[in-house]
Amino acid sequence: MSIGNEAEEEDRPTVGQALQQARNEARLTVDEVSTSTRVRVPIVQAIEADDFSRCGGDVYARGHIRTLAREVGLDPDELVAQYDGEHGGRPQPTPPAALFEAERIRPERRRPNWTAAMVAAIVAVVGFVGFTLVGGGGEEEPSKAKETPSAKPTETGTPSRPPVTKDPQDEKPSESADPSDSAIAAAPADKVTVQMTAEQDVWISARDHNGRLVHEGVLKKSKSKVFTDDKRLSLVLGNAGGVKLYVNGKEVKDVGEDGQVQRVSYTRGDPEAG
Predicted pLDDT at 161:
55
pLDDT in tens, 152-181: 444 444 444 555 455 544 444 343 444 444
Question: How many folded domains does the chain comprise?
Answer: 2
pLDDT digit string, tens, across residues 178-214: 444 444 445 678 898 889 899 889 888 899 989 999 8
What residues pair up with 213 in beta bridges, in sequence order? 207
pLDDT, position 140: 46
Q: Tell me 141's DSSP state.
A: -
- Coil, strand or helix at 263: strand
Domain boundary among 86, 103, 120: 86
User: Do 237 and 258 meet the contact criterion of CB atoms below 8 Å apart?
Assistant: no
Is residue 78 situated within a structural domain?
Answer: yes
Answer whether 0.95 is exceeded by the pTM. no
More confident call, 274 vs 239? 239
Instruction: Return the closest-CA partner of residue 197 out of 242, 234, 233.
Output: 242
pLDDT for 99-155, tens place per residue? 344 444 455 566 667 788 888 888 888 877 777 776 655 444 444 444 444 444 444
In a domain, 115, yes or no: no
CATH number, position 232: 2.60.40
- CATH of residue 76: 1.10.260.40
Host domain of residue 226? 180-267
The residue with greater pLDDT, 248 or 144, is 248
Q: Which residue has the higher pLDDT, 90 or 2?
A: 90
Sort residue 246 into left (φ over 0), alpha (ψ -120 to 50) or beta: beta
For the chain, helix, strand, coil in percent to 5 are: 40, 15, 40
pLDDT at residue 106, as a whole number: 52
Range 37-72 burial, b when 16+ CB lie within 10 A, else e = bbbeeebbebbbeeebeebbbbbbbbbbbbbbbebb
Decide which of 246 and 31 is more confident: 31
Tell me, yes or no, whether 247 lies in a domain: yes
Identify whether 248 is part of a domain.
yes
145 lies in a domain? no
- Is 136 part of any domain? no
Per the domain annotation, does 6 fall within a domain?
no
SS3 104: helix
Residue 152 domain flag: no
Among 65, 86, 107, residue at a domain's last position? 86
Domain boundary among 70, 86, 102: 86
For residue 70, what pLDDT band results from cuts at 50, 70 and 90? very high
Edge-to-edge strand list for the sheet holding 224-229: 224-229, 192-198, 243-247, 250-252
